[in-house]
Amino acid sequence: MNKVKSVFRTGDISSSSANSNTEFYENSSSSNKDNYEKGQYEINVNDISENNDDLSIEKHDGTSMKQGLKSRHVQIIALAGAIGTGLFVGSGAALAACGPAGLLVGYLILSVVVWLVMNQIAEMVTYIPVPGQTTVYALCQRYTGNPSLSFACGMNLYYAQALIVPAEITAAAFVIQYWTPINPGAWIAIFWVTSVAINFCAVKCFGEIEFWIGLIKIITIIGLIILGVVIFFGGAPNSHGVLGFHYWKHPGAFVEHLAHGNTGKFLACWTSIIKSAFAFILSPELITACAAEAEHPRVNLPKATSRFIYRMIFFYVCGSLTIGIMVAYNDPRLMNAIDAGASGAAASPFVIGIQNAGIPVLNHIVNAAILTSAYSCGNSQMFSATRTLHSMALRGEVPRIFARTNRFGVPIYSVTITGLIGLVAFLNVSNSSSIVFTWLTNISTVSGFISWIFIGIIYIRYRKAMDYHNMNDRVTFRPPLQIPGAWFSIFFFSLVALTNGYGVFFDFNANDFVAAYITLPIVFILYVGHMIWYKNYKMWAPLEEIDCITGLAEVEKDQAKYVPPVAKNF
């Protein structure tokens, strides 16, 4: 082990020169347990061996990962990595149920709250961005000290990410049906095989593919927003003067959802938040998972996080506004697609708006972009799911075989089991199985809400531990309003998770009720079952037992070696 000179100060009590960060921490907490006071860690970064360049938590034992993502990979993934069919296709159902104003309000509110979540997880990951310790599970284990809560958190996140994979693969297959009636099972097989193959490759290959597909997404959304401006001012072939906000007046800005008057308009906005959430689900977790395997994560992750809000505003808010300009909420094409249960380009409000405007060929180009987006989102969530499972395996919460990596740093067995879960996509080939598939996608969406609740809880415990140990001066990235933002995100997503199926109580249906709420008892059973099995009845570990130092020295050394690139442009 490399030696790290450490000094722990609690009045007249000090300890120095431990064999490792972990050994130091254990010795300090045990020797001073009776008279523990607030303390401060000091690390002399220069004392770390020059050979200690690998920031993975496991060295040379077949479980370590490699930091192969470049800065440009992380930045593009942060901007476009998780954009899939939620924005391009799923927004159509939200428009029909809520109206253009309800859709815009829903996307605006979600953008702000998800940005708060992104800031919380980014600060914790940036502090010690070590591969294997940046998943929500690892952060929960480290800063709450509750193994049962960590287990429930990790399993909830893993199956949410793993189930998004078949959802997006299926969506990509159905997008192709816009051009050809070939059975979607053939396309599902092709997309599944290529996604698994990409995730078996070195992380730099994944980053390069996501980089170029991300550029396609960005160019597509920018082009669609520009198109919305053109249609707004009457520049489309079928336009008869300036269109403006015509569809906000006729048929109207809101659909009075499930009730009349202002109550119906409020419910339209709330339903928009629930229906639009799939477009946002698990994007913060993806960004931090990628950042941990990137070069100089303490530099690149704050950059990506700072730009995250611009993605929210420009892509999601402006995109939803564009949809409300191009398509009426009662458009016949949109309503027919929803009634037919279409999940491909036929239900995309962007494609429908282009068809209504009379613009030839462009609908096919946009459909191709939707195809790449769906495929990319599934591919990204498979990557993120394998990292969650690898992190849990490192600590023995799942079989340790899932922690094994190949010479490229890829967790091969985690990729294998996640790929097998992706075969669930074939359920949608049979109409009788599509109900089961809908349940699984609903589970992943609600699991995303619960994951964001966990992040808020973890962040509050993290701040308490950092304050206790006087380590705040070592934090290199801390956006404003973090603690109020954490409390608000916990409240908001708890409310969304509890009310996501409120519509079923207006016209009760057992299948819809189970699909909306099955995730809540699953997470509860995971937590209680683990707690009883391991007899873990403590909610939080004492603050003096929270490890705020292991891995910090290596990270600070890596940051000290960083040389900012010289700009080559004018």
What's the whole-number mean pLDDT along residues 6-30? Answer: 36
What's the whole-number mean pLDDT along residues 26-43? Answer: 39
**Angle CA(318)–CA(321)–CA(327) in degrees, nearest 5?**
135
Distance (Å, rounded) from C-alpha 204 to C-alpha 73? 9
What's the whole-number mean pLDDT along residues 148-169? Answer: 92
More confident residue, 145 or 313: 145
What's the whole-number mean pLDDT along residues 157-162? Answer: 92
Q: What is the pLDDT of residues 430-473, one digit of tens each?
A: 765 456 666 777 788 899 999 999 999 999 999 999 999 999 99
Query: What's this model's pTM, rounded to 2 decimal places?
Result: 0.85
DSSP track, 321-385:
HHHHHH--TT-HHHHHHHHTT--SGGG-HHHHHHHHHT-TTHHHHHHHHHHHHHHHHHHHHHHHH
pLDDT of residue 551: 87
pLDDT of residue 268: 92
Confidence class of residue 141 from pLDDT cuts 50, 70 and 90? very high
Distance (Å, rounded) from C-alpha 511 to C-alpha 495? 21
pLDDT of residue 55: 44
Q: Phi first, then psi: what are they for 569, rounded to 5°?
A: -90, 175
pLDDT of residue 431: 63
Give, rounded to a whole angstrom, the gap between the first and last alpha carbons of the chain: 46
Per-residue 3-state assignment (H helix, E strand, C coil) for 465-488: HHHHCCCHHHCCCCCCCHHHHHHH
Distance (Å, rounded) from C-alpha 102 to C-alpha 79? 25
Closest CA to 551 of 66, 61, 137, 55: 55
The pLDDT of residue 54 is above 60: no
Confidence class of residue 146 from pLDDT cuts 50, 70 and 90? very high
Tally Cβ neighbours within 10 Å of residue 324: 24
pLDDT of residue 18: 34
pLDDT of residue 49: 38
State both tokens at 253.
Answer: 């800005």
Closest CA to 167 of 494, 420, 428: 428
More confident residue, 340 or 53: 340
| Contact yes or no for 95/327 (Cβ under 8 A) | yes
The pLDDT of residue 210 is above 50: yes
Q: For residue 416, what are the contacts with CB-CB under 8 A and spacing of at least 6? A: none
More confident residue, 47 or 242: 242
pLDDT of residue 23: 39
Confidence class of residue 25 from pLDDT cuts 50, 70 and 90? very low
pLDDT of residue 117: 94
Q: For residue 484, what are the contacts with CB-CB under 8 A and spacing of at least 6? A: none
Distance (Å, rounded) from C-alpha 540 to C-alpha 266? 38
Confidence class of residue 181 from pLDDT cuts 50, 70 and 90? confident
Confidence class of residue 6 from pLDDT cuts 50, 70 and 90? very low
What's the whole-number mean pLDDT along residues 342-358? Answer: 83
Computed on alpha carbons and rounded to an integer, the radius of gyration of the chain in Å comes to 24
DSSP track, 177-239:
TTT--S-HHHHHHHHHHHHHHHHHS-HHHHHHHHHHHHHHHHHHHHHHHHHHHHHHTT-STT-
What's the whole-number mean pLDDT along residues 483-492? Answer: 96
Q: What is the pLDDT of residues 95-105, one digit of tens each?
A: 998 999 999 99
Q: What is the pLDDT of residues 388-404, one digit of tens each?
A: 999 999 888 999 999 99
3-state helix, strand, coil in the chain (%, to 5): 70, 5, 30
Most confidently predicted of 61-70, 72-81, 136-145, 309-318: 136-145
Q: What is the pLDDT of residues 257-295, one digit of tens each?
A: 888 889 999 999 999 999 888 888 888 888 878 877 888
pLDDT of residue 290: 81
pLDDT of residue 19: 36
Task: Provide the Cα torsion 287, 114, 326, 221; round to 10°.
Answer: -20
The pLDDT of residue 119 is above 90: yes
Strands 40-44 and 5-9: antiparallel
pLDDT of residue 46: 39
The pLDDT of residue 178 is above 90: no
pLDDT of residue 442: 79
**Mean pLDDT, the chain, whole residue set:** 82
More confident residue, 54 or 424: 424
pLDDT of residue 567: 65
Confidence class of residue 408 from pLDDT cuts 50, 70 and 90? confident
Distances in whole angstroms, Cα of residue 546 to Cα of each of 22, 139, 216, 468, 541:
11, 11, 43, 10, 7
